[in-house]
Structure 1
Amino acid sequence: MTITLKYFGLIADITNTNEELYSLEKSDFTTNDLIKELNKRYIGLQNISFAIAVNKSITTTAINLNNNDIIALLPPFAGG
Structure 2
Amino acid sequence: MRVQVKTFGALTDILEKEFYTTAADTEELLTVLSSQHTALSHRKLLIAVNNTIINKPVVLQENDVVALMPPYSGG
TM over 0.5: yes
- In structure 1, runs of 5+ residues without a counterpart are none
Deviation at 1:14, TM superposition (A): 1.0
Question: RMSD of the alignment, in Å?
Answer: 1.0
TM-score normalised by length of structure 1: 0.87
1:33 aligned partner, one-letter code: E
Instruction: Tell me how many residue pairs correspond in the alignment.
Output: 75
- In structure 2, runs of 5+ residues without a counterpart are none
Distance 2:2 2:68 in 1: 17
Larger radius of gyration: 1
Distance 1:65 1:50 in 2: 18
Deviation at 1:65, TM superposition (A): 0.3
Moved over 3 A (4+): none
Distance 2:29 2:22 in 1: 11
Matching residue of 2:12: 12
Matching residue of 2:3: 3
Percentage identity across paired residues of the two chains: 33
Q: Secondary structure of the residue that 1:21 maps to in structure 2? A: strand
Distance 2:43 2:10 in 1: 9
Matching residue of 1:71: 66
1:11 aligned partner, one-letter code: L
* 1:30 corresponds to 2:29: no
Matching residue of 2:40: 45
1:69 aligned partner, one-letter code: D
1:13 aligned partner, one-letter code: D
